[in-house]
Chains A and B, each alone.
Chain A
Amino acid sequence: MKYIDEFRDGDLARGLAATIAREVDPARRYRLMEFCGGHTHAISRYGLNDLLPAAIELIHGPGCPVCVLPIGRIDSAIELANRPGLILCSYGDTLRVPASGRLSLIKARAQGADVRMVYSCAEALTIAQQEPEREVVFFAIGFETTTPPTAVVIKQAAALGLKNFSVFSNHVLTPAAMAHIMESAASVSLDGFIGPAHVSTIIGSRPYEAFAERYRRPVVIAGFEPLDVMQSILLLVRQINRGQARVENEFTRAVTPDGNVKAQACVDEVFELRDRFAWRGLGEVAHSALAIRDAYAAYDAERRFDIPMRVVADARACECGAILRGEKHPAQCKAFGTGCTPEHPIGACMVSSEGACAAHYTYGRFRQPAAAPATESKS
């Protein structure tokens, strides 16, 4: 598979690992946050920790749209799905996310709600066309990457004059969340960020510049293949060693400074910024999410069905907030692996396989976090 296999080459990885091991200052630690779940996934799935020197600590950020989906929004989605005659469409990822009262969309479906899993938001539109007498709501989640397709579909629905289709928007924004983490974690020493891959394909590398400057932290935008992650770690190590805080782009094969301008314009036409939005695990984050503009109000499920913005507190035992800010390791949560498992997640980080706790549980719990986290790589 072109553009995939080349970036999974183990020999090249060992070369990079040796260089990283050579260049790190063994006297210090490099605490790097990968914002995106996609990077978390690559790190866990390929076992990258084994290739990195102990001085490098990777912290999993909140970049998984499923994990950060607040409970109140899923409660609302379930309520929608329970309306007689309504079809709720959503991506497979959201179906198991725990809501209040031990419910989830998949359980709601078992109780009779018409919840349909779609691979693309375009399918939801097709369903609306096929079943004109029924209300069809698309439960939209995702970061900047996933928003443009939703925007396209809303515009198509408007062009078709569909009367039975609407979107429950939960699209959220990456730079706002990155800034929030730095603001709320002033005491925490994050040394650098591995920046989003496909989000940046859409928004470009420029939006991170203000962030890097303001918080004086280097950001390296990296692709989701394991070699991309390794290389970006090396680039971060070099910047940190030199005391730099620049935005670098490792993923130049897909990311330009300006991003996908057409997609941005499309999003801009359909969506507007919300003043605030509650993220599971992080709490309220200013200007971090998108709502549907007045011009497309007819396609906004929130208005059509009068969905209130309800805030449901995260579970008390859950340490997700501290984990997402890099203050704690999943294994330090008392519930980890006992009360909270991928089958019965308590907190956001355990929900999707890309959440910090789920990734550690599913891929990494054979490593004892109490001991040195990674083996010394050979050089």
Chain B
Amino acid sequence: MCLAIPARVTALCGDNQARIELGGVQKEVSIALLDQVAVGDYVIVHVGFAIGKLDEAEALRTLALINEMGAPDTAMDLSA
């Protein structure tokens, strides 16, 4: 459900609209549901609206965790 994609804000167009970019494709979306959007922010776009912002630090943390949890010798979890 809820097809939504992370995209970078490339320009603010006024009237609660912004241009976003993903993989070389640009589109104008509404940012009426967000406070303080800046160029360079990554937002989640759903049905032509930005519905949330992406937190870069958290994304990196999640990836680091995935790396760590998938590493061969980190079975420090002995509860199984």
- Asked if A and B touch directly (CB within 8 angstroms), the answer is yes
Interface residues, chain A, with chain B CB atoms under 8 Å away: 1-4, 6-7, 12-19, 22-25, 36-38, 63-65, 91, 119-123, 142-143, 145-146, 148-149, 152, 196-199, 201-202, 224, 227-228, 230-231, 234, 238, 241-242, 250-255, 260, 262-263, 266, 354
Q: Which A residues are in CB contact (< 8 Å) with B42?
A: 2-3
B1:A145 contact, CB within 8 angstroms: yes
Q: Which B residues are in CB contact (< 8 Å) with A266?
A: 32-33
Residue in B3, B33, B59, B66 whose beta carbon sits within 8 Å of that of A231 in the complex? B66
Q: List 16 A-B contacts (CB under 8 A).
A: A2-B8, A3-B42, A4-B5, A4-B6, A13-B70, A15-B72, A17-B70, A19-B75, A121-B47, A149-B48, A152-B33, A198-B4, A198-B46, A199-B2, A254-B54, A262-B35
**Beyond the given A2-B6, A198-B1, A260-B51, could you list 15 further A-B residue pairs with CB under 8 A, ordered by the A residue number?**
A2-B42, A6-B59, A12-B63, A12-B66, A36-B2, A64-B1, A65-B1, A145-B1, A148-B51, A149-B49, A201-B4, A252-B61, A252-B62, A253-B56, A254-B6
Looking at chain A's contact residues, the main secondary structure is helix
- Distance (Å) between the CB of A176 and the closest chain B CB? 15
With A25-B80, A121-B47, A238-B77 as known contacts, state yes or no: A260 contacts B52, CB within 8 Å: yes
Residue in A13, A15, A230, A254 whose beta carbon sits within 8 Å of that of B55 in the complex? A254
Q: How far is the CA of A3 from the CA of B30 in the complex (A)?
A: 21
Q: How far is the CA of A18 from the CA of B67 in the complex (A)?
A: 12
With A149-B49, A201-B44 as known contacts, state yes or no: A14 contacts B70, CB within 8 Å: yes
Residue in A37, A148, A149 whose beta carbon sits within 8 Å of that of B1 in the complex? A37
- Closest B-chain residue to A148, C-beta based? B33
- Distance (Å) between the CB of B28 and the closest chain A CB? 10
With A254-B54, A254-B55 as known contacts, state yes or no: A120 contacts B2, CB within 8 Å: no
Most buried by A among B5, B55, B63, B79: B79
- Distance (Å) between the CB of A279 and the closest chain B CB? 13
* Interface magnitude class on chain B: 35 or more
Q: Which B residues are in CB contact (< 8 Å) with A196?
A: 1-2
A122:B46 contact, CB within 8 angstroms: no
Q: Which B residues are in CB contact (< 8 Å) with A37?
A: 1
Confirm or deny: B22 has a beta carbon within 8 angstroms of a beta carbon on chain A: yes
Q: How far is the CA of A266 from the CA of B8 in the complex (A)?
A: 24
B58:A142 contact, CB within 8 angstroms: no
B34:A262 contact, CB within 8 angstroms: yes
Most buried by B among A17, A142, A201: A201
Q: Which A residues are in CB contact (< 8 Å) with B5?
A: 4
Confirm or deny: B39 has a beta carbon within 8 angstroms of a beta carbon on chain A: no
Residue in B23, B54, B65, B75 whose beta carbon sits within 8 Å of that of A23 in the complex? B75
With A64-B1, A260-B34 as known contacts, state yes or no: A122 contacts B48, CB within 8 Å: yes
Q: Which A residues are in CB contact (< 8 Å) with B8?
A: 2
Most buried by A among B30, B48, B63, B69: B69
- Distance (Å) between the CB of B68 and the closest chain A CB? 9
Q: Which A residues are in CB contact (< 8 Å) with B56?
A: 253
Q: How far is the CA of A47 from the CA of B4 in the complex (A)?
A: 21
Q: How far is the CA of A19 from the CA of B69 in the complex (A)?
A: 7
Residue in A19, A198, A263 whose beta carbon sits within 8 Å of that of B33 in the complex? A263
- Distance (Å) between the CB of B48 and the closest chain A CB? 3
- Distance (Å) between the CB of B69 and the closest chain A CB? 6
Q: Which B residues are in CB contact (< 8 Å) with A121?
A: 47-48
B80:A143 contact, CB within 8 angstroms: no
B59:A253 contact, CB within 8 angstroms: yes
B66:A227 contact, CB within 8 angstroms: yes
- Distance (Å) between the CB of A334 and the closest chain B CB? 27
- Closest A-chain residue to B70, C-beta based? A15
Q: How far is the CA of A30 from the CA of B31 in the complex (A)?
A: 41
With A4-B6, A65-B1, A266-B33 as known contacts, state yes or no: A145 contacts B46, CB within 8 Å: yes
